[in-house]
Amino acid sequence: MRTQVAIIGAGPAGLLLGQLLHKNGIDNVILERQTADYVLGRVRAGVIEQVTMDLLDEAGVGARMHQDGLIHDGVQICVDGVRHRLSFKELTGKSVMVYGQTEITKDLMDGRVAAVAPTVYSAQDVTLHDFFGDNPRVSYRAEGRGHEIACDFIAGCDGFHGISRKSVPPGLISAYERVYPLGWLGLLSDTPPVSEELIYVRHATGFALCSMRSPTRSRYYIQCSLAEDVEAWPDERFWEELKPRLDDEARDRLVTGPSIEKSIAPLRSFVAEPLRFGRLFLAGDAAHIVPPTGAKGLNLAASDVRYLSRALIEHYQEKSADGLEHYSARALARVWKAERFSWWMTMTLHRISDNPFDQKLQLAELDYLFRSPAAATAFAENYVGLPY
Ligand code: FAD
Ligand code: DHB
């Protein structure tokens, strides 16, 4: 088989890139290790930036998002039982949208089926070949047989544990990493959210987040140790751990109920540099991870895809290599700012250290954030998404 761009991974990065390329007449094939149902079953991101919404519109898959997504003009931060509100709208003129990654993935998958563009699910042993030469190839196994795709470019959109980044000779790639000694235990339930806006909670016993997917579906997270086993967390234990971290009003409004999903995610900051290796380009979680606190992971995947899709379109339509040559530097400039913001939010809101000095610094950071319009504006600018 031959295609122009072989895309590894059918997460948000791979599917969105595929859709944008297809819209511009560029052939592509997506190879995904898992089944479509497995990919759709992963409950992850909930908040998307305006620029991500714009890109989903550009890809022609934004209709359901505009119908069902919830526009949020601000966010709330609760510090040891006292809630504060930061208005994005007043500080930046912008908003974010609450619309689940599961729904975005579904919209992108439906768009791909409608475009009759090829996706191979359950592709095993995906292997990248010759991407430093002019004729890269990707081989894989499906339905018991070996297959090979010849292509012009390979897009590595296969997440943090994927094969693309690992295919790069070690001496050519630099990794920058910080692992936090904690995770998030998340619970999804068909209960009304405690608040119309998200509440990020800083509490002496640990971080919590009250989020949502719709007016009838809530998503909650609590900070947990990395050693936790989700099996040790029956729903009742989760609710009992969450309650004392909330303010009185939120606690009164909390409606508990059976979980639909519960999972633990470790917190990590990671960046691989550069993002281009000959004819291989890395995008999204394959290249970088942020701790979830700033709600930036999916948004960064979309921002890489924006740069990469434009670069590939420029290559095919204008015969210009400029975008491809600058892809890595342009994408990384935005990535590092989101890394900084996500690290800052993580360090400011979690119980990471038992040193009272560190805890006093967190409180000083937050007090400054609530009192200084400059600090609040800097926060809001980052949360709604920095301009390209
Ligand atoms: P992925 O979604 O990981 O997709 C990669 C795909 O590649 C997967 O389908 C995988 O199966 C496939 N794959 C892997 N290896 C191979 C292989 N060898 N061959 C073929 N296919 C392969 N981000 C936000 O922006 N906002 C939020 O509010 C937010 N909240 C989050 C909450 C949690 C609890 C978590 C865990 C994450 C959150 N994120 C958030 C981050 C966001 O979910 C990720 O950044 C996003 O999924 C990245 O998309 P991706 O396509 O790059 O990678
Ligand atoms: C959600 C996840 C996040 O990481 C975040 O910062 C906000 C919301 C969510 O899943 O709803």
154 is written with which tokens? 């390979």
Ligand 1 touching residue 385 (CB < 6 A):
no
- Amino acid occupying residue 343: W
The residue ranges of DSSP E strands in the chain, in sequence order, are 5-8, 28-31, 47-49, 70-72, 74-79, 82-87, 96-98, 119-120, 124-129, 137-142, 145-150, 153-156, 174-189, 199-202, 208-214, 217-224, 259-273, 276-277, 280-282, 288-289
Mean pLDDT calculated for residue range 104-125: 97
Do residues 267 and 349 lie in contact, with contact meaning Cβ atoms separated by under 8 Å?
Answer: no
Q: What are the residues facing 72 on neighbouring strands?
A: 96
- As given in the structure block, the two tokens for residue 206 are 């640990």
**Rounded distance, CA 298 to CA 276, Å?**
20
Q: Using one digit for the tens of pLDDT, what is the confidence trace for 117-155? A: 999 999 999 999 999 999 999 999 999 999 999 999 999
Expressed in angstroms and rounded, the spacing between residue 253 Cα and the centre of ligand 1 is: 32
Asked if the model's pLDDT at residue 313 lies above 90, the reply is yes
Instruction: Report the C-alpha gap between 222 and 209 in whole angstroms.
Output: 7
Residue 202: band (very low, low, confident or very high) from pLDDT cuts 50, 70, 90:
very high
Contact indicator for 239, 148 with CB cutoff of 8 Å: no
Q: Minimal CA–CA distance to 331: which of 289, 378, 284?
A: 284
Q: Is 74 in the pocket of ligand 1 (CB under 6 A)?
A: no
Residue nearest to atom 4 of ligand 2 (CA): 292
Nearest to 349 by CA among 271, 293, 291: 293
**Does residue 40 have a pLDDT over 90?**
yes
Kindly state the percentage of the chain with pLDDT values over 90.
99
From the number of C-beta atoms within 10 Å of its C-beta (0-12, 13-18, 19+), residue 29 rates as buried
Phi, then psi, of 352 in degrees rounded to 5 = -105, -35
CA 297–ligand 2 middle distance (angstroms):
10
Q: Determine the Cα–Cα distance for residues 269 and 120; give it in Å rounded to an integer.
A: 30
Q: What pLDDT does residue 154 have?
A: 98
Q: Which two tokens stand for residue 382?
A: 């980052």
Arithmetic mean of pLDDT, 235-252: 98
Q: Output DSSP code: residue 2.
A: B
Q: What is the pTM of this model?
A: 0.97
- Expressed in angstroms and rounded, the spacing between residue 305 Cα and the centre of ligand 1 is 13
Could you give the percent of the chain with pLDDT greater than 70? Answer: 100
| 30 φ/ψ angles, rounded to the nearest 5 degrees | -105, 130
Q: Which residues pair with 280 in a beta bridge?
A: 154, 277
In contact, 263 and 43? CB cutoff 8 Å? yes
Paired residues of 177 in beta bridges: 270
pLDDT band with cut points at 50, 70 and 90 for residue 291: very high
**Is any atom of ligand 2 closer than 6 Å to the C-beta of 47?**
yes
180-194 average pLDDT score: 97
Question: Cα 244–245–247 angle (5° rounding)?
Answer: 90
* In the predicted structure, residue 379 carries a pLDDT above the cut 90: yes
**Which are the contacts of 113, defined by CB distance < 8 A and separation ≥ 6?**
none
Chain-wide mean pLDDT for the chain?
97
Q: Is 75 in the pocket of ligand 2 (CB under 6 A)?
A: no
Q: Is the CB of 20 under 6 A from ligand 1?
A: no
Q: Is the CB of 211 under 6 A from ligand 2?
A: yes
Tokens of 133: 């030469």
Greatest C-alpha distance within the chain: 63
35 CA to centre of ligand 1 in angstroms: 15
Give the ligand with the smallest distance to the CA of 72: 2
Q: Which atom of ligand 2 is nearest to the CA of 297?
A: 4
Q: In sequence order, what are the beta bridge partners of 220?
A: 187, 210
pLDDT confidence of residue 388: 86
Contact present, 212 and 195 (Cβ < 8 Å): no
Alpha-carbon span 36 to 115, nearest angstrom? 17
Which position has the token pair 């998307």? 48
Query: In residues, how long is the chain?
Result: 388
User: Which ligand does the CA of 159 lie closest to?
Assistant: 1
CA 231/CA 250 separation, integer angstroms: 27
Residues with catalytic roles: 72, 200, 292, 296, 383
Residue 213 reports pLDDT greater than 90: yes
d(CA 17, CA 284): 11
Neighbour order of strands in the sheet with 96-98: 47-49, 96-98, 70-72
Q: Are strands 96-98 and 288-289 parallel, antiparallel or unpaired?
A: unpaired
Residue type present at position 259: S
Q: What is the mean pLDDT of residues 269-281?
A: 98
Tokens at residue 204, please?
A: 């002496």
